[in-house]
Amino acid sequence: MDRWLVTTFRFDATPPLGHPLCGGWVTPARRIESPLSGRGLVLFGPADPVVICTLDWTGLCNGAYQSFCRALADAAHTVPERVVVHCVHQHDAPFVCADAQRFVAGVRDLPPIVAMDFFERVRAGAAAALRGSLASARPVAAIGWAEAAVVGVASNRRLVGLDGRLVRMRSVAPASDSLRRLPVGLVDETIRLIALLDDRRQPLCELWFFAVHPISVSGLGVVNHEFVGDARRRRQQAIGPAGTVLYLTGCAGNVNAGKFISSAQRDCRHRLAQALVAAMEEAVAKLRSEPLERVDWRVQYVLPEARRDLDRDRLLTTLTERSARVATRNRAAFALAFLARLAAKKPLRVCCLFLNEYLCFWLPGEPFVEYQLWAVHQWWNRPVAIAGYCDGGPWYVPTREAYAQGGYEPSVAWCDHQIDAALRHAMLACAGT
């Protein structure tokens, strides 16, 4: 049996006061309620090391994503193709795209998307933390798998009418919003745990996967790690300092907590965190483990087509249109950045980590929950976990059907609807099926 080692690392990713949040179109950071963290692991063995990093940020896109991966790869003595950086996707957090920032910087009246010195400082801190952890690598004797249902957190936010068109979007709104009375809709209520264990079956690292937008009350300039970060903190307290807990957001592009929260409920963040913690405790009680015998990492590349109605000249006009909302103008910068990326033939990556027969997928953008449900059924006879939000360049990744339904998400999905088939084919190729 090949011998595998793991080391874990942590670093601070909290923006300074005054820094833009969520791409610059909500209130900038005026108070730090809870710090934002970066956490990760490095797996060492017979092959080049594999690095998995999580960030409490809204997103990390295009060139900034690639440079972050390169920095971690250099620190771990591996190649960037064996590194993923996942953003948990809290909204009162930085949304980093250096390419979009260059477009915004050329327009005098627009607020910045990101302060590049802050980004570079966090990237350097991440690489230094990883490098400093290498001497503390420990053998992985076993892996564990568990799952449980999360009650009262996830709901589908898209209401589609009989004509096949989107009627309304369920989001954070007043308690009187009638959409709260409607059923949960299409979600994946399962939280999944992959645990790397030592020879006493104690956790060296836990990876938790759940598909929901991590938003309760947001947009007020109060930086926080949201209810998912609070659940992660409480789980970290339970296992102690010898292990590291990572939380990863699954295919949550069309899933939020909208049915279960409202702007009138002051305690909603605590309630959502408690529901996650209860499911985590249930899962841990059912954890089953086996010796770690196989680790493999596979990558497929996808170079999608841009959405056909995206016009560069029109986007440049929107960017400079002073009467338009800042959010609209900054989104144009993100779209322009992705168009430039496609023109330069820089593909997206779909990655798959094999741990024995476990499959762990890492997907770009904000994929819809249908991709996750499809994968779980496609590989029904083996454990499957999925993290979206790796390389946020394409923004939303709806299903082919959702483009025809309309609504917010397809309007800010920079890829053509053919991304649906391309993404699934890449997952199949990664898994070898």
Q: What global pTM score does this model have?
A: 0.97
- The burial class, CB within 10 Å (0-12 / 13-18 / 19+), for 18 is exposed
Q: Are 348 and 302 in contact (CB under 8 A)?
A: yes
Q: Which residue has the tokens 């015998």?
A: 293
Written as six digits, the tokens of 194 are 């992959």
Q: Are 364 and 350 in contact (CB under 8 A)?
A: yes
**Nearest CA among 213, 93, 73, 94 for reference residue 153:** 213
Q: Which neighbouring-strand residues pair with 202?
A: none
- Confidence (pLDDT) at 1: 45
User: How many Cβ atoms from other residues are within 10 Å of residue 266's Cβ?
Assistant: 8
Helix (H, G, I), strand (E, B) or coil at 384: strand
Q: Whole-angstrom Cα distance, residue 188 to residue 191? A: 8
Q: Are 19 and 319 in contact (CB under 8 A)?
A: no
pLDDT (tens, 9 = 90+) of the chain, 433 residues, equals 468 999 999 999 999 999 999 998 899 999 999 999 999 999 999 999 999 999 999 999 999 999 999 999 999 999 999 999 999 999 999 999 999 999 999 998 899 999 999 999 999 999 999 999 999 999 999 999 999 999 999 999 998 988 999 988 888 766 667 888 889 999 999 999 999 999 999 999 999 999 999 999 888 899 999 999 999 999 999 999 999 999 999 999 999 999 998 767 767 899 999 999 999 999 999 999 999 999 999 999 999 999 999 999 999 999 999 999 999 999 999 999 999 999 999 999 999 999 999 999 999 999 999 999 999 999 999 999 999 999 999 999 999 999 999 999 999 999 999 999 999 999 999 998 6
Residue type, 367: P
Q: How far is CA 384 from CA 37, 193, 376, in A?
A: 26, 10, 6
Which residue intervals of 202-258 are DSSP H helices?
Answer: 226-239
